[in-house]
Amino acid sequence: MKQNYRAVLQYEGTRYQGWQKQISTDNTIQGKLESLLTKMVGETVEVNSSGRTDAGVHAYGQVINFICDTSMEPEEIRDYMNQYLPEDIGVISVVVAGERFHARLNATGKIYRYRVLNSKIPRIFDRRYVFQVSEDLDLEAIKKGISYLEGKHDFKAFTAKKNTKKSTVRTIHEIKMEPVGEELVFTFYGDGFLYHMVRILMGTLLEIGQHRRTPESILEAFETGDRVKAGFLAPAQGLALMQVFYD
């Protein structure tokens, strides 16, 4: 009998072409998972995720669901996947889900983390997980920028998708900035995020911290919805999906 399974994954995104499977390459997270599960049960299995992470983005708590017919217990599925998946993809848990559960459609919120190494000296062994900014940053200006970004807004200027018919209104419940040694760790908690949105928010805050734009420029970006009014696209390696929430 076919059942719907829900799983939580971790992965280091460095060497993958993002989450979404592609015709041109089999080097995607979704592609690896679907190939393995299809082999496990002997028929095509499709995997849904809570969202598509970009190439180079990591995940500590990505949630997926897939439907298949197997006599294996959820723990056996987890162990099978961990045995045969590449070493940079790990399955934390597998459980039987309700038949209507969908990892993306049922998600009510997400937490992303972005790590900035604010130092002139590189940290070679962390280079896949942090974005290095050597200039001094004005943290008070960044905090003011954060205050403008929190809340419910139209984030059209903060997405790389130019012509989307879907709503670009999202609610950011909280953005935290925490100094940890030479790092600044940013945590974004919201009801959902648009394509490239967290990385553009991060680029905007860093430009504010470098005095390349004012905190108030965020208000103009909201008002115009113009991508050029927001900041640069911060590199992927500093970003990680930490947690996904469901009712």
217-224 vs 139-149: helix crossing angle, rounded to 10:
30
Cα separation, 185 vs 28, in Å, equals 27
- 54 catalytically annotated: yes
Of 26, 54, 79, 126, which residue is the catalytic one? 54
Give the residue among 47, 91, 74, 102 at the shortest CA–CA distance from 247. Answer: 102
Q: At 31, phi and psi to the nearest 5?
A: -60, -45
Ordered alpha helix ranges (H), 42-138: 74-84
Q: How many CB atoms lie within 10 A of CB 217?
A: 18
Q: How far from the centroid of its chain's Cα atoms is residue 208's Cα? A: 23
Which residues carry out catalysis? 54
